[in-house]
Structure 1
Amino acid sequence: MAEPIAALNGAVVAWPGSGASARPPLGPIDLTVQPGEILALVGASGAGKSTTLRLLAGLQAPTSGAVVRAADVGRTGVVFQNPTLMPWADALTNAALPLELAGVSRQAARDRAAAALTAVGLGGRLDARPSQLSGGMAMRAALARALVTAPDLLLLDEPFAALDSVTRRRLIEDLHALWAAARPRPAIVFVTHDVEEAVYLAQRVVVLGAADGRPIADLATPGIPPRPEGWRAAPLYRQAVEAVAAALDASMGAGGKAA
């Protein structure tokens, strides 16, 4: 097996506070992300899914343990639950921002941003400001901003949670197409509450325990994305959904938390 592109080795996050009401620490978490794979994290609310993502992104340091990244890992893209676009800037300026911050010339950055926006279906809305975009379009712009640097690792924190089911499905199909076309393919870690979304999107689903966020199940999904037409009705898909749902139910029973 290839060297992981990123890993958490015994990572623990301790929260402020003391006494009986103090929140118990998260972890220790052992998790590996392989190059080019799509991994979904599921778990109860408060199980530490977003914190795990922040650890992988380097946005938060563990209290103990280690976050390890491959020696040749390049850029990391992050998409949050909200698009977090600059409201005063158009889609092109928003998407070009990471490149300009990295020192790429303005024209080159805008050319690459235009290509990224076109790839996510916003080629005709380059001059639109966030207030002029629908929720799905705004999330597409955020995805283009994350992809514009051609990241080796793409981290997505429930980016489709606020969207309607039809838009969510379209964005997942688009994400699969972008991933499949990329050379090399980025590793993707996707946080979601939705078991069916996790199984459809990912090649591997990790279930985090409600009590401490430690992985309690690591389940492979059948096939390789993009998914064929009608795959949601396929018996193998339904069986995988039930397996993940059972593991998630067990995680919440053990932790005493509700989703």
Structure 2
Amino acid sequence: MAEPIALLRGVTVDLVGRPPLGPIDLTVARGEILALVGASGAGKSTILRLLAGLQQPSAGKVSRAAGLGRTGFVFQSPTLMPWADTLSNVALPLELAGVSKTQARDRAAAALSAVGLGDRLDARPSQLSGGMAMRAALARALVTGPDLLLLDEPFAALDSVTRRRLIEDLHALWATADPRPAVVFVTHDVEEAVYLAQRVVVLAATTGRPVADLPTPGAPPRPDRWRADPAYRQTVEAVADALEAAMAPQAETAA
């Protein structure tokens, strides 16, 4: 595994009205794409917030590599400012970081072109389809050149064709970035996890503890018709079996 960019060690998170999550140990390597899968309530989004520094653990330690640059975060909804055009939405994090307005807008326009929205710079969020709005949110997360990109089920509300196209776009953007960001992607979809990621971590349903860590074959971007490859299908079944076991009551004592 490459150099770690972020680590959780013995992390627990106290929750109201239910047992705590953890203890959780997780390593994210620099430049890798990692998918987290687990039942609802398994702590997938909580792990993203811990990695982003948006939430502190009740116990244990969250470590980020020395010199770690910016962290991009894409949520389940695009969270674009409805009163601003697409270009202004994507330029915002640069302007907040002190980049001049002209340079910020130039970089935002380039980021939007990279996700296929170069002709929608003046559009308001209400004028964008769901897939377009998520592309804009992805451009906004990538425009600062993050070292760590966190994605919290960003494609869940989209149709299957749009989801596939966005995954291909994400692979292309990741592959051409220098340096490549580490990507942590949360999903309920096992096939999406295996196709997108280099490594899939399965979380126990109640504690959120990793109970399986499965590499995927090959490397993204994926070749044409890779979903029909037997190695892909076998990995999907292995992750699905691990997820089913993780949702069983005995998984908590075995973790």
The letter of the residue matching 2:186 is V
Structure 2 regions of 5+ residues with no counterpart? none
Distance 1:3 1:256 in 2: 30
Q: Which of 160, 171, 180 is equivalent to 2:175? A: 180
Q: Cα distance, 1:253 vs. partner?
A: 1.1
Q: Cα distance, 1:3 vs. partner?
A: 2.7
Q: Which of 164, 178, 195 is equivalent to 1:200? A: 195
Q: Does 1:107 align with 2:109?
A: no
Distance 2:14 2:24 in 1: 12
Q: Does 1:133 align with 2:128?
A: yes
What whole-Å deviation, never above 9, does each CA across 1:190-243 have from its counterpart, x for those lacking one? 000000000000000000000200000000000000000110000000000000
Q: Is the 8 A contact 2:7 2:28 kept in 1?
A: yes
Q: Does 1:11 align with 2:11?
A: yes
Q: How does 1:81-120 map to 2 (within 5 A)?
A: 81-120=76-115
Q: Does 1:41 align with 2:36?
A: yes
The letter of the residue matching 2:102 is Q
Q: Cα distance, 1:15 vs. partner?
A: 1.4
Q: Is the 8 A contact 1:28 1:214 kept in 2?
A: yes
Distance 1:3 1:177 in 2: 22
Q: Which of 57, 60, 78 is equivalent to 1:62? A: 57
Distance 1:83 1:13 in 2: 27
Local SS of the residue matching 1:5: strand
Q: Is the 8 A contact 1:42 1:192 kept in 2?
A: yes
The letter of the residue matching 1:13 is V
Q: Cα distance, 1:254 vs. partner?
A: 2.6
Local SS of the residue matching 2:217: coil
Local SS of the residue matching 2:183: strand
Q: Is the 8 A contact 1:209 1:255 kept in 2?
A: no
Count the aligned residue pairs: 252
TM-aligned CA distance change 1:255 to 1:42, over 3 Å: farther
Q: Which of 230, 239, 252 is equivalent to 2:234? A: 239
Q: Is the 8 A contact 1:211 1:255 kept in 2?
A: no
The letter of the residue matching 1:150 is G
Distance 2:197 2:3 in 1: 20
Q: Cα distance, 1:256 vs. partner?
A: 8.9
Q: How does 1:203-218 map to 2 (within 5 A)?
A: 203-218=198-213
The letter of the residue matching 1:82 is S
Q: Does 1:220 align with 2:215?
A: yes
Distance 2:236 2:42 in 1: 20
Q: How does 1:16-35 map to 2 (within 5 A)?
A: 16=16, 22-35=17-30
Residue in 2 aligned with 1:164?
159
Distance 1:26 1:109 in 2: 40
Q: Cα distance, 1:129 vs. partner?
A: 0.4
Q: Is the 8 A contact 2:204 2:251 kept in 1?
A: no
Runs of 4+ in 1 over 6 A off after TM superposition: none
So what's the TM-score if we normalise by structure 1? 0.96
What whole-Å deviation, never above 9, does each CA across 1:12-55 have from its counterpart, x for those lacking one? 10013xxxxx3000111100000100000000011010001110
